[in-house]
């Protein structure tokens, strides 16, 4: 029992030491001074959308891009209809996108679809006309000022820019609310704080901009892990590339509402983080030590502690409980220790959610009562990452599409019955 308490205390201390610096990010975001960039020249962009069976939502994304307050002639939209069995390609064409279908059951995933898009654009001979490329998921939509704001940050010094991600469907249930709150925390408190303190931000899945020169140097999109965004982020940090953040460029993302879908998605993310740690962790550590790049340390701390420390705590606790049962000892002290750890973790996550909710209260769409209620379920959802992480250690995980339907439920879906 004393050993278990000692291990829990050491793990808690190590976790705090690894993550305490993030408090500085939050403070910088909440209390730091914002500097508005000067007006920037208008640039030409390509928009890359990888879509698999997204006929219900992709039209809304394309329409929101077309409605943006940015010269329409300077934005071209490219869609990869990736292994689709529905009318995604037809819907995208109807709304004005250039569509490149792809059928490949062996190389599956968003990274392969993005690489296919870039190669198709190069084959058409129009790749060099763009200053940069945006990457979106099919379920996204953008604010009218999105491209103008991103254009204001994009520069030779800021060749990769991440934007502000907010949930479309925060108010659906406790699962979508928890997702939304965590992504807002990442954007509002972490990336905004990083930008103010002039350290590199982190690319998170969708809603980011990459310069043409970087993609040319990469020869497409050579990132095919389960979390290709984290793989890309690691590569940029190893190259010394600064990832900027634009708080005023807001896009919306639909979150899962079923626990089963959530489990599958987070299992893929966690397995992907493990892949990146195994492939890039040593390089990030060496770069951190030899080249004194804080961004490499920051990315390592965003992945490793959340995976390693809870797992060690769970394994030690399970071993202690098993030993107590075999020796006929009382399990109550072990259960009390587990309960104490649970309450401590719940309290930390509740405080994280509270600060995030308070900072962005007016910008989060939802009824006030449900916002407060979902605040208290947020820590419970986040703690389900523990069994997800445990499963990721032993399960074979493959990329699977997430079904999106908020646009359909809101009555914006257009029905297409056409042959693709």
The pLDDT of residue 412: 41
What is the structure's pLDDT at 243? 97
13-27, 83-97, 233-247: least confidently modelled range: 13-27
In 3D space, the residue among 399, 412, 367, 387 whose CA is nearest the CA of residue 173 turns out to be 367
Which pLDDT value is given to residue 2? 63
Give me the pLDDT at residue 162, please. Answer: 98
Q: How many CA atoms lie within 13 A of 377 on its CB side?
A: 16
Q: What is the pLDDT of residues 101-119, one digit of tens each?
A: 999 989 988 999 999 999 9
For 318-328, how does the pLDDT look when each residue is reduced to its tens digit (9 = 90+)?
777 777 777 77
Q: Residue 419 — very low, low, confident or very high, per pLDDT cuts 50/70/90?
A: very low
| pLDDT higher than threshold 80 for residue 338 | no
Report pLDDT digits (tens) over 113-162: 999 999 999 999 999 999 999 999 999 999 999 999 999 999 999 999 99
Which range is least confidently modeled, 40-49, 77-86, 271-280, 307-316?
Answer: 307-316
**What pLDDT shows up at residue 316?**
74
**Angle subtended by helix axes 332-359 and 22-31, to nearest 10:** 30
CB 60 within 8 A of CB 407: yes
Q: How sure is the predictor about 240, in pLDDT bands with cuts at 50, 70 and 90?
A: very high
pLDDT for residue 5: 65
The domain locations on the chain are 2-24+301-394, 34-284
Query: Residue 104's closest CA among 81, 86, 78, 82?
Result: 82
What does pTM read for this prediction? 0.90
> How far is it, in rounded angstroms, from Cα 98 to Cα 79?
6
For domain 34-284, give its CATH number from 3.90.1530.30, 3.90.550.10, 3.40.50.300, 3.40.50.11890: 3.90.550.10
């Amino acid at each position: 029992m004393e050993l278990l308490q000692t291990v829990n205390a050491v793990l808690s201390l190590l976790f705090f030491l690894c993550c305490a610096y993030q408090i500085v990010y939050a403070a910088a975001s909440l209390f730091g001074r914002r500097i508005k960039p000067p007006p920037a020249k208008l640039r030409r962009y390509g928009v890359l959308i990888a879509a698999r069976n997204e006929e219900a939502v992709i039209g809304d994304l394309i329409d929101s891009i077309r409605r943006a307050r940015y010269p329409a002639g300077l934005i071209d939209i490219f869609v990869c209809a990736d292994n689709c069995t529905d009318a995604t390609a037809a819907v995208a064409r109807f709304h004005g996108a250039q569509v490149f279908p792809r059928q490949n059951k062996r190389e599956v995933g968003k990274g392969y679809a993005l690489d296919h898009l870039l190669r198709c654009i190069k084959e058409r001979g129009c790749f060099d006309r763009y200053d940069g490329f945006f990457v979106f998921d099919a379920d996204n939509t953008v604010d009218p000022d999105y491209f103008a704001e991103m254009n204001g940050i994009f520069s030779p010094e800021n060749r990769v820019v991440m934007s502000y991600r907010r949930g479309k469907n925060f108010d659906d249930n406790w699962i979508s609310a928890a997702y939304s709150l965590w992504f807002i925390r990442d954007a509002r408190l972490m990336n905004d704080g990083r930008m103010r303190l002039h350290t590199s931000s982190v690319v998170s899945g969708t809603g980011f901009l990459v310069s043409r020169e970087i993609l040319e140097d990469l020869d497409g999109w050579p990132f095919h892990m389960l979390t290709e965004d984290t793989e890309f982020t690691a590569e940029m940090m190893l190259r010394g590339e600064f990832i900027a953040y634009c708080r005023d460029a807001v896009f919306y993302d639909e979150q899962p509402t079923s626990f089963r879908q959530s489990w599958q998605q987070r299992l893929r993310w966690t397995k992907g983080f493990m892949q990146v740690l195994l492939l890039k962790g040593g390089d990030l550590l060496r770069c951190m030590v030899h080249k004194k790049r804080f961004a490499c340390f920051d990315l390592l701390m965003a992945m490793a502690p959340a995976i390693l420390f809870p797992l060690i705590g769970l394994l030690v606790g399970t071993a202690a409980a098993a030993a107590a049962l075999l020796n006929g000892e009382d399990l109550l002290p072990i259960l009390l220790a587990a309960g104490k750890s649970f309450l401590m973790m719940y309290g930390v996550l509740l405080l994280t959610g509270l600060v995030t909710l308070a900072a962005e209260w007016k910008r989060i769409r939802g009824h006030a009562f449900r916002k407060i209620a979902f605040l208290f379920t947020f820590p419970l959802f986040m703690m389900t990452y523990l069994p997800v992480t445990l499963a990721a250690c032993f399960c074979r995980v493959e990329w699977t599409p997430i079904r999106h339907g908020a646009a359909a439920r809101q009555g914006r879906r257009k029905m297409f019955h056409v042959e693709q």
